[in-house]
């Protein structure tokens, strides 16, 4: 049995949480779940990253509206300030985590501002609509609309998609990013000059509904059971948010591992956590990409659980996860081939 990272264990408490098995005493309302996310993830993440924000004169932040089928969503655009007015940047489109039902673009906002300046990369952070008010596949259609908006508005972003056009996300956001990679591959809209995606950055993704594992995959998908009591994302919590989103379990727009083909997808950087219920999702997706001839780098971190770097952003393992993420983005943007 894998040990918990000592710094994380000290913050979680003296008893290994995998043995603190209790029946849920209270099923939260969606308002309670969203408030808890703000308190336990958004607030500590913003507080940690605030001192590292770049100087205000090095980047521009604007919230813009994107039309969707029956309304509009907000996208937060972070654009570096260039020394040369004609300079252009690659573009990364980010989807936040939160089980399709909680969280917001504030979750990674400050961290993404630093990434934008450090890597000279325009970033569009998508505030897609949340379940249960907007169930599956609303998040998918919202994010696809945002991706098309980016491709059609590069001038606003000082973007040059031929330099890089990435989708990125954490947890539910990583699920959406993986779906977008497939949808954009198959959508004629993205076949125009300079519109093809060039990379996918997947941080602790869910890539298949736990009740939709193919028989041949079941022996490899053990983490949903092995880590089911490990906070912050227990199996019970995952079941709760998936039920709110209410997807069709074998629809590839929720379970992107089930797309008929993974060929011709852009190169991918995938992060997974050893004590995460989604550990084997990351492994399975990386394996499927490699078998389809897609360049993929996959890093798995021992002793840590899902999203711990948001809850406890200052511990050593969290700093490493973010540093590797930055290096992963740089690799996806580079022309280096995987060896």
Domains and CATH numbers, the chain: 6-20+31-333 (3.40.50.1820)
CA pair distance 283, 281, nearest whole angstrom? 5
Q: What spatial distance separates the first Cα and last Cα of the chain, rounded to whole Å? A: 32
pLDDT of residue 69: 87
Asked if 83 and 135 count as a contact pair (C-beta separation under 8 A), the reply is no
Q: What is the DSSP string of 285-296?
A: HHHHHHHTT--E
| CA 292 from centroid of its chain's CA atoms | 22
pLDDT of residue 44: 97
Return all residues near 137 (Cβ < 8 A) that are at least 6 apart.
247, 251, 253, 254
pLDDT of residue 339: 42
pLDDT of residue 326: 98
Neighbours of 43 (CB within 10 A): 13
pLDDT of residue 196: 95
- Among residues 164, 168, 190, the alpha carbon closest in space to that of 178 is found at 168
Asked if 92 and 120 count as a contact pair (C-beta separation under 8 A), the reply is no
pLDDT of residue 129: 98
pLDDT of residue 13: 77
Q: 306 an active-site residue?
A: yes
CA pair distance 33, 98, nearest whole angstrom? 10
- Among residues 7, 83, 3, 56, the alpha carbon closest in space to that of 321 is found at 7
pLDDT of residue 226: 95
Q: 276 an active-site residue?
A: yes
Beta bridge partners of 124: 77, 93
Hunting for tokens 């943007």 — which residue is that?
333
Return all residues near 286 (Cβ < 8 A) that are at least 6 apart.
268, 270, 296, 298
CA pair distance 202, 268, nearest whole angstrom? 7
Catalytic annotation, pick one of 49, 170, 262, 306: 306
- Among residues 217, 251, 276, 230, the alpha carbon closest in space to that of 97 is found at 276
Element (H, E) at 324: helix 316-333
Separation in Å, CA 244 to CA 114, 132, 255? 33, 5, 16
pLDDT of residue 64: 98
Q: 171 an active-site residue?
A: yes
Catalytic annotation, pick one of 5, 108, 127, 276: 276
For strands 122-127 and 296-301, give the pairing. unpaired
Mind listing the pLDDT tens digit of every residue in the chain (339 residues)? 578 999 999 998 755 555 455 555 678 899 999 999 999 999 999 999 999 999 999 999 999 999 998 899 999 999 999 888 889 999 999 999 999 999 999 999 999 999 999 999 999 999 999 999 999 999 999 999 999 999 999 999 999 999 999 999 999 999 999 999 999 999 999 998 789 999 999 999 999 999 999 999 999 999 999 999 998 999 999 999 999 999 999 999 999 999 999 999 999 999 999 999 999 999 999 999 999 999 999 999 999 999 999 999 999 999 999 999 999 999 999 977 654
Catalytic annotation, pick one of 104, 122, 171, 223: 171
pLDDT of residue 280: 98
Which phi and psi (to 5°) does residue 168 adopt? -145, 145
| Total-model pTM | 0.96
| CA 142 from centroid of its chain's CA atoms | 15
């Amino acid at each position: 049995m894998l040990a918990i990272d000592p710094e994380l264990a000290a913050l979680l408490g003296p008893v290994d949480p995998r043995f603190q098995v209790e029946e849920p005493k209270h099923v939260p309302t969606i308002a309670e779940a969203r408030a808890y996310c703000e308190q336990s993830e958004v607030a500590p993440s913003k507080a940690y990253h605030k001192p590292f924000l770049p100087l205000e004169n090095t980047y521009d932040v604007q919230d813009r509206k994107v039309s969707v089928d029956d309304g509009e969503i907000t996208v937060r655009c972070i654009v570096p300030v260039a020394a040369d007015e004609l300079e252009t940047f690659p573009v990364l489109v980010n989807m936040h985590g939160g089980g399709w039902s909680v969280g917001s673009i504030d979750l990674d906002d400050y961290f993404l501002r630093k990434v934008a300046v450090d890597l000279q990369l325009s970033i569009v952070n998508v505030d897609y609509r949340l379940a249960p008010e907007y169930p599956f596949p609303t998040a998918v259609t919202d994010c696809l609309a945002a991706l098309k908006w980016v491709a059609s508005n590069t001038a606003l972003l000082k973007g040059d998609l031929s330099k890089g056009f990435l989708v990125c996300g954490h947890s539910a956001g990583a699920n959406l990013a993986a779906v977008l990679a497939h949808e954009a591959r198959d959508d004629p809209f993205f076949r125009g000059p300079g519109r093809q995606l060039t990379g996918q950055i997947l941080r602790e993704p869910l890539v298949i509904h736990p009740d939709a594992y193919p028989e041949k995959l079941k022996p490899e998908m053990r983490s949903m059971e092995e880590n089911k009591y490990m906070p912050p994302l227990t199996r019970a919590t995952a079941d709760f948010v998936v039920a709110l989103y209410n997807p069709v379990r074998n629809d590839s727009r929720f379970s992107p591992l089930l797309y008929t083909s993974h060929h011709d997808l852009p190169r991918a950087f995938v992060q997974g956590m050893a004590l995460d219920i989604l550990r084997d999702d990351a492994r399975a997706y990386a394996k499927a990409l490699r078998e389809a001839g897609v360049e993929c780098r996959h890093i798995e971190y021992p002793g840590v659980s899902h999203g711990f770097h948001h809850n406890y952003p200052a511990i050593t393992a969290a700093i490493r996860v973010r540093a590797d993420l930055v290096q992963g983005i740089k690799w996806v943007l580079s022309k280096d081939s995987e060896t």
